Amino acid sequence: MLSLLAAVVLTQKMPDTSLRLQAGDSWTAAYTYHFAGEDIDLTQREQIKYSVVREPARSVLIAEWQLVETKTDGETIPAPKGIKPMVRKLTLDGENLNPPVGDDVARHRIERTIAIERKGNLSEPSFFPVPPYVRLVGINRIVELDSRVKDKSVLAVSVEETVRDKPLKAVGYYTLHPTTGILEQGQWTITNAPIPGGSGLCDLTVAVTAKNLKLAPRK
């Protein structure tokens, strides 16, 4: 009976994980990926600019992914100039208006590991899909409220692929904006991570911070 009560209390304290956006909202998610292993020490900085705009019949979430810079062997290499960002568009009901096409299986495995479990139909779009003929192994994800943090809601997560030989595993935490559900900050430590564009496995640390948050007035 006590364990059931504890579960109910924990559920009640869990924050609303849905994205609650309005036209006029905008923010930038700044990501850092650090790949480390015997043959690799590479840091990649990326950003996704989000904005919610009102179209004649509906509001649309626009997400623009762009590489910022890469650092390897002590050298920082800025992203080439003139490269246009990858753009995704979704309605606030979660409908994909321009479904992506891709073949980056390694990066997709990483991105689904750090994806936020959302309530409702709307979630951050993926920029690294896999071809329709590729079947990925399953993935187990456990998300719990971190009871050690008292002043705000911090969600702790553990993830593991359901494959026997060297599954990708991750532990991490993240916080969501209380009004909108926007990902404010997060960090994940991943083992057996694939190296996009390479071979072998490595350790990977992913960190994200929301910047330039601007919200439309709420009633």
Predicted confidence (pLDDT) per residue in 14-45, tens digit: 889 999 999 999 999 999 999 999 889 999 99
CA 14 – CA 22 distance, rounded (Å): 23
pLDDT at 9 over 70: no
Q: Which residues of 92-108 are buried (b: 16+ CB within 10 A; e: fewer)?
A: beeeeeeeeeeebebbb
Q: What is the pLDDT of residue 132?
A: 82
Q: Which residues of 26-40 are buried (b: 16+ CB within 10 A; e: fewer)?
A: bbebbbbbbbeeeeb
Q: What is the pLDDT of residue 133?
A: 84
Question: Encoding tokens for residue 201?
Answer: 């496995």
* Mean predicted confidence (pLDDT) in 130-137: 85
pLDDT at 150 over 80: no
- Banded pLDDT at 147 (limits 50, 70, 90): confident
pLDDT at 11 over 70: no
CA 30 – CA 211 distance, rounded (Å): 7
Q: What is the pLDDT of residue 75?
A: 93
- Rg of the chain taking only CA atoms, in angstroms: 18
pLDDT at 13 over 80: no
| CA dist 172 → 13, 46, 87, 188, 208 (Å) | 19, 19, 27, 4, 11
How long a stretch of residues is the chain? 219
Q: What is the pLDDT of residue 143?
A: 96
Nearest to 68 by CA among 55, 59, 81: 81
CA 42 – CA 34 distance, rounded (Å): 6
Q: What is the pLDDT of residue 196?
A: 78
pLDDT at 10 over 50: no
Give the pTM: 0.90
> pLDDT exceeding 90 applies to what percent of the chain?
74
Tell me the pLDDT of the chain averaged across its residues.
91
pLDDT at 12 over 50: no
* Mean predicted confidence (pLDDT) in 86-111: 92
Pick from 81-85, 148-152, 176-180, 198-202: least confident: 148-152
Question: Encoding tokens for residue 46?
Answer: 């990326």
